[in-house]
Amino acid sequence: MKEIVHITEAFGGGVLSMLTQLSNRAAAAGVSVTILHSIRPESPVNFSKLFHPAVRLVHVDMCRDVHPVKDWTGLWDLVRALRHCDPSVVHLHSSKAGVLGRAAACIATPDARIFYSPHGLSFLRRDVSPAKQLAYLNFERIAARMGGVIVACSASELHEIESKVNPRSAVLIENGVNVSEIPPRIEKDDDRIVIGMSGRASYQKNHEAFASLATTLQTPNVGFSWIGGNPDELPVEARSAVKCSGWVTRDRALELTAQLDVYVQTSRWEGMPIALIEAQVAGIPAVVTDVVGNRDVVKHGVTGFVATSIEEMGAYIARLRDDPALRARMGAAARHAASARFSMDTIFRQWLSIYETGSGKPVREPLGANEVASYEARPDSQF
């Protein structure tokens, strides 16, 4: 490969995590890597320090929401930036880059192999109107006609893509983590239990639900921890029930995650959450909402529980809270399964293979017909 160019407007969170891992490994292997990126409020100030010295970072202004004038400007800025590169691969991350990036690549680098990772489908957003959801779906359908391979990060995301977007080519490569960087859950000498979540305050992450669970389930020996949150982002009645770390580095977030006994993910929608994967690799049983991404990571009844309502989440959390043997058994199962399944060593080899071949052939065999229910939401799900 001559050069890999990554393009993203969503320069933060799980997208940034995957970008650093893919680009750093490629750069270390001697591949030229350029990242065309925007800046979001959640983008870390010191983001350049996260990347291999050989990775070239180029700022291109793109906006998250639909804005005809800014989108037109962003498109031609991408075209100019791509013409300064000579990529054999253009990898687009998140929905805005998926649309603008495919158009720009068709204009500037028509011979490059194009891959698009949604990292959470925009038409699944619950913070916009049904009309906007339909508009986002139509944008995805139009962009899919421009070519390239859509790469889903979870089986349920792939199911949504194939059933609603109807792309020419779609494959599955799950998100991965550097397993060796993730500290295992810390064994405690006392009987105090810590239940926690990790992530920013947002409608998507649904931190209000976590706060509600904390006020309902806390006891003198059970504490709730919000890694990345601030007290003023909580309802007043929940501030005494939840300990907030404030913004922390990723290394510190992993240290705090290792102190948890139960991990909770209350998201309204996802792609495949990195923080949840990290918690499972650490050996922490998880209770998650039954949405795209969450239900793919957690094996219900084995490495945690997948809940269809907040009330059901509360019941599952209480069950784990009150049963040390169950926590230990599920935690051990989570660590064993997740460490093998989500190892970035394996995931990166899958990416290199598809980068080099440009093949639309699934990197993993698709789920069998009898497994569809494992990633489709149950009919009674409230999420």
The per-residue pLDDT for range 229-273, each reduced to its tens digit, is 999 899 888 898 899 999 898 899 999 999 999 999 999 999 999
pLDDT at 201: 85
pTM attached to this predicted model? 0.88
DSSP string for residues in 237-249: GGTTTEEE--S--
Please identify every stretch of the chain with a pLDDT value under 50, giving residue numbers as ranges: 362-377
Kindly tell me the sign of the dihedral angle through the C-alpha atoms of 59, 64, 65, 66: positive
pLDDT at 360: 52
The SS3 of residue 290 is: coil
pLDDT at 369: 32
Pseudo-torsion of CA 53, 58, 64, 65, nearest 10°? -170
Beginning with the edge strand found earlier in the chain, give each strand of the sheet holding 242-244 in spatial order: 242-244, 222-227, 193-198, 262-265, 286-289, 304-307
What is the number of alpha carbons within 13 Å of residue 170 lying toward its C-beta? Answer: 24
Tokens describing residue 145: 């006609």
Q: Helix axis angle, 95-108 relative to 130-144, nearest 10°?
A: 30
The per-residue pLDDT for range 361-379, each reduced to its tens digit, is 544 443 333 333 333 445 5
Fold of the CATH domain 3-176+343-374: Rossmann fold (3.40.50)
Rounded to a whole number, what is the largest CA-CA distance in the chain? 63
Beta strands in the chain (DSSP E): 3-8, 32-37, 56-59, 89-93, 113-117, 149-152, 170-172, 193-198, 222-227, 242-244, 262-265, 286-289, 304-307
Percent of the chain whose pLDDT exceeds 70: 93
> What's the start-to-end Cα distance of the chain, in Å?
42
Tell me which CATH code domain 179-341 carries: 3.40.50.2000
pLDDT at 364: 44
- Tell me which residue of 333, 341, 351, 363 sits closest to 179, measured CA to CA: 341
pLDDT at 87: 95
Contact between 90 and 117 (Cβ < 8 Å)? no
Tokens describing residue 108: 């500037």
| Start-end of CATH 3.40.50.2000 domains in the chain | 3-176+343-374, 179-341
* Calpha distance 363→299 (Å, rounded): 21
Measured in degrees and rounded to the nearest 5, phi and psi for residue 59 equal -80, 130
Q: Where are the alpha helices (H) located in 31-125, listed in sequence order?
A: 68-83, 95-108
Could you count the other beta carbons within 10 Å of the beta carbon of residue 239?
A: 16
